[in-house]
Structure 1
Amino acid sequence: MKVTLVTPAGRGSRAGNRTTATRWARRLRELGCRVRLAGPEEAPTSWRFGSRPPDLLFALHAWRSHAAIRACREAFACPVVVVLTGTDVYRFQHSHPEAFLDSLDAADVLVGLHDCLEEDLPTRFHPRLRIVHQSALPLPPRAPGPKERAFEVLVAGHLREEKDSLRAALAARDLPPTSRLRVVQLGSACSDDWARAARDEMARNPRFRWLGDLPRWRVRRWMARSRLMVISSRMEGGANVVSEACVAGLPVVASDIPGNRGLLGEAYPGYFPVTDTEALRACLLRAEREASFVETLRRHVAARALLFRPEAERDALAGVLAICGL
């Protein structure tokens, strides 16, 4: 079976869409598919395998890949799977509804990345929606030592508005002098303004460090050594970093949005209201002071980890192929 997988993130990008596309290409190959990764700007003629068109198109991002989805519908008779991202559902559905909805109408199957997606999707699309949880690989177990000097809190994600990226840094300001809490931020800045804001925050906030865009192995090393992760996003389509934290047994404090609840569960005890600096500060201080609270969060993320195994992701993708009759 020949699959073209269109992603709006180019080769070499560390953006979430590219990471998902690369990992799903590997899973689809495990299922016996021949997979070609393509950018949304590429002409359908470049998607051919020799003289044959693809048997299936996977398009990540309904709005950014709209032209590719339309071109496929016009050029080929193959099924189309559209993968819905956070900015798709929570931004472009409202700011660019015509292209967004046209992509959904063109799809044979819609794929979401978290369990609460139906809350924000028009009812007529629900029968075509399938959920594929993004997988992650485990980290070596961490053994915190009693003499550690800092309580390190990790934020992993590119600096941009959707992520509310500096919320943890703001929450770390004006803590009691006795606090050992430190915030480490990983990820590239998506604009000069974000880079300037991060550097300014480091200059005024001794509890905050921004390390920029790091390779995957270094991000995983930071996950292994951190005591807590903060996911402060305003919108998420089902962040892979949540999967990674759960599989790693890394406790999470997360904004109370559908994209986080759809991965961590409705009853997760580590939510705070989105953009609420004071509430996040209270969560962080509680985590530093109450080992039992951190352990409760750890048990919850560990219970969710089975959802994010590579085998579960592969089986879910196999189900999508079956729906397409392939």
Structure 2
Amino acid sequence: MPHKPHIVLITPAAAGSRAGNRATATRWAGLLRSQGYRVSVRLPDAAPSGAPELILALHAWRCHGALKAWKQAFPLCPVVLALTGTDVYRFQYSHPTTVYDSMDEADVLIGLHDCLEENLPERYVSRLRVVHQSARPLPPQVSKPGRRRFEVLVAGHLREEKDSLRAAYAVRDLPRASRLQIIQMGGAHSEAWARAAREEMEGNPNYRWLGDQPQWRVRQAMGRARLMVISSLMEGGANVVSEACVAGLPIIASDIPGNRGLLGADYEGYYPVESTEALRACLLRAEGSPDWLEDLGRQVSARAPLFSPEREAAHLAAVVASAMETGSSSEHA
């Protein structure tokens, strides 16, 4: 039986979690297994064991202790570190020693969008590789948009980094002729966020929060929606953007590096971060201008080839091979 190289994949999100880190870990484990690797998915508190040939960690700040422990146990083992949005846009500044220590351990760094290097110290850029997260097309039997409502989907956990209620605020007191309705899916990060969403629903007939939903329900909602809003303050490369592009679903997105790095600098559907009025204007324009909405749809569809599973698998395999080669060279130096 041929030898299967062993990869330990460390993620801060437990099995069953719908957090983005867990979804990425599960997908990457599947892609790597299909290429002949043996992959063990571990949480940060798991004791190092099993003599891996590669350590792959998701999240520089949350996995710092685990990364140090695994590297101490297996000092010759190469390390690949995937950087999240909070790593780059929050913890790099609030906890620089921890984040940079994790990055210093890595032979290769993974970024999930094309603009990440704008916010990294120059000494790390040569180690950075971009792996776009993939998505699969919606099934043919998925629901189609209705005529009664112009549904706009917001998908993601309710938390500060997502500016989660911005779309809801933008559809308060709409013109009488408007059919805009925000459908939000995602669990609340705290009871305060859940309370805020419930209170918003009570006073805003154009907003519905459905709470945490399985992926198949989110994909159904994507089929019914005419538009998606990504209102985040920071993103490491949201997989929901990949999903929307592959589905041909137009996006209105906050103008941040994490969105530009997936949709491109010339995408026409950006609005200034945290600007309720600008987002409202974009939503009303999308509803009232079918030509503009179709143009946004063409633009997202043009990005779809970036997010094919085959492309993600190939780029991930190249990163792993590069890190293993670097580790092997260091071992024999």
Which position in structure 1 is the counterpart of 2:123?
124
The within-5 A match list for 1:224-243 is 224-243=223-242
Separation in 2, partners of 1:99, 1:143:
46
Separation in 1, partners of 2:143, 2:57:
41
Which position in structure 1 is the counterpart of 2:54?
56
1:187 to partner: Cα distance: 0.2
Cα deviation code 1:233-285 (max 9, x no counterpart)? 00000000000000000000000000000000000000000000000000000
Question: Secondary structure of 2:33's match?
Answer: helix
| Residue 18 (str. 1) matches residue 17 (str. 2) | no
Separation in 2, partners of 1:170, 1:24:
36
Which position in structure 2 is the counterpart of 1:71?
69
Separation in 1, partners of 2:216, 2:15:
18
Cα deviation code 1:189-227 (max 9, x no counterpart)? 000000000000000000000000011111100011100
Which position in structure 1 is the counterpart of 2:114?
115
Paired amino acid for 1:260:
N
Question: Secondary structure of 1:124's match?
Answer: helix
Paired amino acid for 2:64:
H
The within-5 A match list for 1:312-323 is 312-323=311-322
1:29 aligns with one of 28, 33, 39: 33
Runs of 5+ in structure 1 lacking a partner?
none
Which position in structure 2 is the counterpart of 1:192?
191
1:105 to partner: Cα distance: 0.5
Question: Secondary structure of 1:11's match?
Answer: coil
* Alignment length (residue pairs): 319
1:3 aligns with one of 7, 10, 18: 7
Which position in structure 2 is the counterpart of 1:87?
86
Structure 1 residues 293 and 144, CA, compared in 2 at 3 Å: closer, same or farther? farther
Q: Percent identity?
A: 65
Separation in 1, partners of 2:300, 2:33:
29
Cα deviation code 1:112-143 (max 9, x no counterpart)? 00000000000000000000000001013678
Check the 8 A contact 1:140/1:224 in 2, yes or no.
no
Question: Secondary structure of 2:210's match?
Answer: strand
Check the 8 A contact 1:155/1:230 in 2, yes or no.
yes
Runs of 4+ in structure 1 deviating by more than 4 angstroms, as ranges, are 141-145
1:39 aligns with one of 40, 43, 46: 43
Separation in 2, partners of 1:140, 1:42:
38
Check the 8 A contact 1:169/1:208 in 2, yes or no.
yes
Separation in 1, partners of 2:217, 2:193:
22
Separation in 1, partners of 2:316, 2:232:
27
Paired amino acid for 1:73:
K
Separation in 2, partners of 1:7, 1:302:
31
Separation in 2, partners of 1:143, 1:213:
20
Check the 8 A contact 2:54/2:324 in 1, yes or no.
no
Paired amino acid for 2:180:
L
Question: Secondary structure of 2:81's match?
Answer: strand
Which position in structure 2 is the counterpart of 1:98?
97
Cα deviation code 1:76-133 (max 9, x no counterpart)? 1210000000000000000000010000001000000000000000000000000000
Separation in 1, partners of 2:298, 2:58:
32
State the Cα RMSD in Å.
1.1
Which position in structure 2 is the counterpart of 1:204?
203
TM-score, normalised with respect to structure 2: 0.94
Which position in structure 1 is the counterpart of 2:331?
none
TM-score, normalised with respect to structure 1: 0.96
Separation in 1, partners of 2:116, 2:262:
10
The within-5 A match list for 1:248-259 is 248-259=247-258
Runs of 5+ in structure 2 lacking a partner?
326-333
1:325 to partner: Cα distance: 3.1
Question: Secondary structure of 1:324's match?
Answer: helix
Paired amino acid for 1:70:
K
Paired amino acid for 1:115:
D
Which position in structure 2 is the counterpart of 1:164?
163
